[in-house]
Amino acid sequence: MELAYYSDYAVRLVNTEEPARGKDALTSVEAVRDLFGTNKEAARRAADADVTRFRSVRARLRAVFEAADGGDETLSVNLLNSLLLEFPVSPQISGHNFRDDDGRPLWHMHLADHPSNATAGYAAIAAMGLAFHLTEYGVDRLGLCEAAPCRNAYLDTSTNRSRRYCSDRCATRANVAAYRARKRLEADRSERTGLAAESAQRTSATGER
């Protein structure tokens, strides 16, 4: 499993909340377990107390994205480092589930957590995955969706660092809104131009009389 995969853990958790819309999907232990995806063994460790703990980690991870999105690289790194120190992992070489044509293991790096609870395990993997992404691609590759009021987190893997939205849906919505705004502006300008021309004509006609 590539280490970059683990960065999705951070995005997945941050995006369980939409602060601008007042929405929060992290309201039950079942919601916590869903965040682990196919890692059923880790999900089974989740208990009711993890709901509150996950929300706390979520706020700290969002702060990392907010600092990066605001251009404060040092703050973003410092916030992420505090998570790494609090929730450590042990990198290990693993060959499970992946085999080559001859049946030999395809060795890869794996992050082994040793958590006291489900939150500690998830936070460790999410923070380390995000750290690998940040150091590989740059702090400016951590973003928050520009399609208000969304503000979902995303990881920019585009070749030209051009990503601005968390999804195609938000990109389309933002483009439509921008198009309508341009049309309104053009209509306003046209109306003002027409009124100005009409006023000039009246002034001219008055002068001629």
pLDDT tens figures, 59-98: 999 999 999 999 999 999 999 999 999 998 877 787 766 6
Query: Could you tell me which residues come within 8 angstroms of residue 163 by beta carbon, excluding any fewer than 6 positions away?
Result: 143, 154, 156, 157
Question: Which residues, listed in sequence order, are joined to residue 94 by a DSSP beta bridge?
Answer: 108
The residue among 193 and 155 whose pLDDT is bigger is 155
Q: What is the mean pLDDT of residues 10-24?
A: 95
DSSP SS3 for 148:
coil
C-alpha span between 179 and 192 (Å, rounded): 20
151 φ/ψ sector (left φ>0, alpha ψ -120 to 50, else beta): left
The residue among 9 and 109 whose pLDDT is bigger is 9
Residue 186 has pLDDT above 70, yes or no: no
Query: Could you give the residue ranges of the DSSP H alpha helices within 36-113?
Result: 40-43, 49-69, 73-86
Both tokens of residue 145?
């969706």
User: Per-residue confidence at 166, pLDDT binned at 50, 70, 90?
Assistant: very high
| pLDDT at site 209 | 55
Q: What is the mean pLDDT of residues 152-170?
A: 91
Residue 12 has pLDDT above 90, yes or no: yes
Both tokens of residue 204?
């001219």
The residue among 194 and 52 whose pLDDT is bigger is 52
pTM: 0.78
Q: How far is CA 84 from CA 39, 78, 202, in A?
A: 21, 10, 73
Q: What is the mean pLDDT of residues 17-35?
A: 95
**Quick one: how far is CA 169 from the chain centroid?**
14
Q: How far is CA 90 from CA 98, 106, 207, in A?
A: 20, 19, 88
| pLDDT at site 152 | 96
The residue among 49 and 108 whose pLDDT is bigger is 49
Residue 1 has pLDDT above 50, yes or no: no
- pLDDT tens-place string over residues 112-132: 666 679 999 999 999 999 999
Query: Could you tell me which residues come within 8 angstroms of residue 32 by beta carbon, excluding any fewer than 6 positions away?
Result: 26, 43, 46, 50, 51, 54, 118
